[in-house]
Amino acid sequence: MKILRRYILKELSGPFFVAFVTSTFAMMTGNLIKLADLVINKGVDFFSVVKVFLCLLPWLFTFTVPISVLTGTVLTFGRLSADNEITAMRASGISLYRLVFPLVILGLVISLISYELNDWMLPRLRFEARKLVAQIGAKNPTAYLEPGTFIKAFKGYIVFIYGIDKNKLSNIRIYQPQEGKPTRTIIAQKGELDYIASKDVVRLKLTNGTVDEPNPNDPNNFYKLNFKTYYMTLGLGEGRNLNVEKKKSDMSIDELNQQIKKLNAEGINTTPLVMEIHKKISYSFSSLIFILIGVPLGLMARRGEKTIGFTLSAVVIAAYYLLQLGGEALTIKGVLFPSLGIWLPNIVFGAVGPALIFWAAEQ
C-alpha cells in the first residue's frame, strides 16, 4: 500500500506543477506589465519594483495553489481511471477510500501550511509592499498617477486625467473644492507634468482650456476664462504617503481580534474584520475541499481527455468563487453570519465531494 500511495502522489505531482506554473504566470502577467511600465515609462528604480513584485508574488499562491491542487487531482484520477488502473486496484481488494486517504492527508497538510502563511507571512509581505509603494511615491509621485481615476494626492486639489503618456497628459480636469463656495474647475486638452524634488511640488503646464476665476464683483462666483497656456503648481505636502496604516488584509488573526475588541468597546460594527478572519481560514482549507471534489470529478472524466479535466476544474473553480462572492454579499447585507457566509463554498463542496466519493466507491 505504501508503494501505491507513493505512486498516486507521484502521478499527482506532474499535473500539479504544470497547473501551478501556468496559473501563477497567468495571474502575474497583468502585474508584470504594470511594473514594467513603472520602470520603462515612469523612471522608477528597477530594484524597488523588484522588491514590490517579490512581496506581492506569494499572495498569488493563495489562489494558484488550490487551483493547481484541484486540476492535478482531476487530471490524475482521470488518467488512472482511463487506463483502468483504478479498476485493477479495486479488483485487488483496495477500496477507493484507501486510495483517497493519502490525498486527504496531503490536502490537510497543504491547508495547515496555507493557514500559517495566510495568518502571518502574507499579511506582513502585503504591508511591506504597500510601504515600498509609499516610498516610491515619495521619491517619484508622478509614477502612480493613474488615468481614469480621481487623484487626491495634491493638497487642496482633486485631479482627473483621461490619458497619461510619461509626463504628457490629455483631457485634464482639476477641481479645487472651497468651503462655502462653488468648486473651482480647470479643464485643459493637454498638459505636461514635471516633479520638482527640491520643493516637493508638481508643476503643470496646461494648454488649450478654461479656468474658473473669481468674479471681482462677486467673489463667491466664478467666470470662465479661456487660455492657451496655463501654469500651476500643486503641492504634495510633507510626509504625504509615508504614514502607511495597516488595512484589514495586512493584519494577522491576532491583530484582527485585538481590533475587534477595541471597536466593539466603542460600539462600532466589526463585521468586515470578522469576515477577514474567516476568509483567511476558509481560503486556507480550500485545497482540502478541492481534493475531495476533485477525486470524483476525475473518475467522471475517465475518457482520459485532458480538455475534459481542465473544463471540469474551470467549472468548479468558477462555481466556488461565485458562491464565495454570493456569501460575502449576503454577509455584508446581514442576511448570513460571517461564519456561514464566508464558509458557504467550503460547506457546499465539502458536502458534495465526500457524497460523490461514497457514490463512486459503492459502484
Rounded to 5°, angle at Cα 19 from 14 and 24: 135
Return the closest-CA partner of residue 158 out of 180, 130, 184, 191: 184
Neighbouring C-beta atoms of residue 85, cutoff 10 Å: 16
Per-residue pLDDT averaged across 37-66, rounded? 80
Question: How confident is residue 239, by pLDDT bands cut at 50, 70 and 90?
Answer: very low
**Contact criterion met (CB below 8 Å) for 146 and 48:** no
187: burial class by Cβ within 10 Å (0-12, 13-18, 19+)?
middle
Instruction: Give tens-digit pLDDT for 244-258.
Output: 678 888 899 999 999
Q: Which helix (H) or strand (E) holds 165?
A: strand 158-165
195: left (phi over 0), alpha (psi -120 to 50) or beta: beta
Collapsed DSSP state (helix, strand, coil) of residue 168 = strand
- Contacts of residue 218, defined as CB under 8 A and 6 or more positions apart, other chains included, come to none
Q: Give 241's pLDDT tier (boundaries 50, 70, 90).
A: very low
Radius of gyration of the chain (CA): 27
Kindly state the average pLDDT of the residues 228-240.
74
- Render pLDDT for 108-158 as a digit per residue (tens, 0 to 9): 999 999 999 999 899 999 888 877 776 676 566 666 577 777 777 777 888
Q: Which residue has the cell 500559517?
A: 116
